[in-house]
């Protein structure tokens, strides 16, 4: 698949579908009980294992196929970590609500405690991605995972510091306590920096795609361009009054009493990123 427009549309579909699939499974597990969340994580292990195997096998493949495999393998690994986090299995030691009048320092420490195991897992996963592809010629799997990782860190920090819009529909029962660790605010100092960096990164990937000497490199950078642009869009969703949640709510099982709690954006939504 060498057509950049078709590649872009396919990437957007992967972002939308993978996010919806994870949210659907999490909602089904919520309706079935705590044990269902553990079954989801265990049942999703092929995503993690298969993703790493595919990434390693694509490390020396500089073709168009190699770029696609590397990209999808990173998304697969990322997807498993998102599933594990939203299931509450790989989250953090702190499961308590944050007191409403806690200081900034206390809020930060408590917030870190809610995400600690997940963050350690993602950092370890990023290191393993680097180890698997470092000696090869195809690093698109590593760059894809790194883009998802740093975009998600930015999103989490912005939610902690305060943004106007925080989606509440997608937070599952095991993570209901997260609602108290984020705050609504008109703006924070980090948001313009995040937007600027993501815009710059999108432009850099686009420039590298334009200068690519082979089809494989061209498609790889097109994939990164679209993914980073989606991460940028998800940041804008935190401030613009757009009903982005409707992209997925229509496909989710209904609940009698939806949790009115705070959820981070899911891309990486991929699931890029929530």
Per-residue pLDDT of the chain (274 residues; tens, 9 = 90+): 778 899 999 999 999 999 999 999 998 988 887 789 899 999 999 999 999 999 999 999 999 999 999 999 999 999 999 999 999 888 889 888 888 888 888 888 988 999 999 999 999 999 999 999 999 999 999 999 999 999 999 999 999 999 998 876 778 888 888 877 778 888 899 999 999 999 999 999 999 999 999 999 999 999 999 999 999 999 999 998 887 888 888 888 876 544 433 334 443 444 444 4
Residues 6+ apart with CB under 8 A from 127: none
Q: Is residue 208 part of a domain?
A: yes
Q: Is residue 128 part of a domain?
A: yes
Q: Is residue 265 part of a domain?
A: no
Residue found by looking up tokens 């609504």 in the block: 184
Are the beta carbons of 201 and 120 closer than 8 angstroms? no
Q: Is residue 263 part of a domain?
A: no
Question: In 3D, which of 228, 213, 270, 225 has the Cα closest to residue 247?
Answer: 270
Q: Is residue 260 part of a domain?
A: no
d(CA 200, CA 198): 5
Domain encompassing residue 57: 4-242
Q: Is residue 152 part of a domain?
A: yes
Residues 6+ apart with CB under 8 A from 150: none
Q: Is residue 60 part of a domain?
A: yes
Provide the token pair at 75.
């998304």
| Residue spans of alpha helices (H) in the chain | 4-32, 34-43, 45-57, 64-86, 104-133, 140-161, 190-210, 215-237, 246-249
If you ran DSSP here, which 8-state letter would residue 22 be given?
A: H
d(CA 268, CA 274): 5
Are the beta carbons of 111 and 177 closer than 8 angstroms? no
> Domain count of the chain?
1
Are the beta carbons of 271 and 79 closer than 8 angstroms? yes
d(CA 133, CA 248): 34
Cα torsion at 264, 265, 270, 273 (round to 10°)?
-80
d(CA 164, CA 263): 13
**pTM given for the model:** 0.90
Q: Is residue 235 part of a domain?
A: yes
């Amino acid at each position: 698949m060498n057509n950049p427009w078709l590649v872009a549309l396919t990437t957007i579909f992967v972002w939308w579908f993978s996010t919806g699939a994870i949210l659907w499974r999490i909602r089904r597990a919520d309706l079935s009980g705590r044990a269902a969340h553990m079954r989801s994580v265990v049942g999703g292990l092929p995503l993690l294992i298969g993703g790493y195997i595919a990434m390693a096998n694509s490390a020396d493949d500089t073709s168009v196929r190699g770029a696609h495999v590397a990209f999808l393998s990173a998304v697969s690994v990322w997807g498993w970590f998102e599933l594990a986090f939203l299931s509450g299995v790989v989250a953090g030691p702190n499961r308590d609500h944050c007191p409403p009048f806690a200081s900034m320092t206390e809020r930060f420490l408590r917030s870190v405690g809610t995400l600690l195991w997940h963050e350690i897992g993602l950092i370890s996963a990023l290191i393993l991605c680097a180890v698997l592809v470092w000696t090869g010629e195809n690093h698109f799997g590593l760059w894809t995972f790194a883009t998802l990782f740093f975009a998600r860190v930015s999103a989490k920090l912005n939610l902690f510091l305060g943004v106007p819009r925080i989606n509440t529909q997608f937070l599952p029962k095991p993570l209901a306590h997260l609602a108290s660790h984020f705050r609504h605010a008109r703006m924070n100092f980090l948001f313009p920096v995040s937007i600027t960096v993501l815009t710059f990164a999108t432009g850099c990937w686009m420039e590298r795609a334009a200068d690519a000497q082979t089809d494989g490199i061209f498609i790889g950078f097109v994939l990164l361009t679209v993914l980073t642009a989606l991460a940028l869009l998800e940041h804008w969703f935190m401030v613009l009054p757009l009903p982005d949640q409707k992209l997925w709510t229509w496909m989710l099982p209904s609940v009698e009493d939806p949790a009115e709690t705070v959820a981070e954006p899911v891309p990486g939504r991929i699931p890029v990123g929530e």
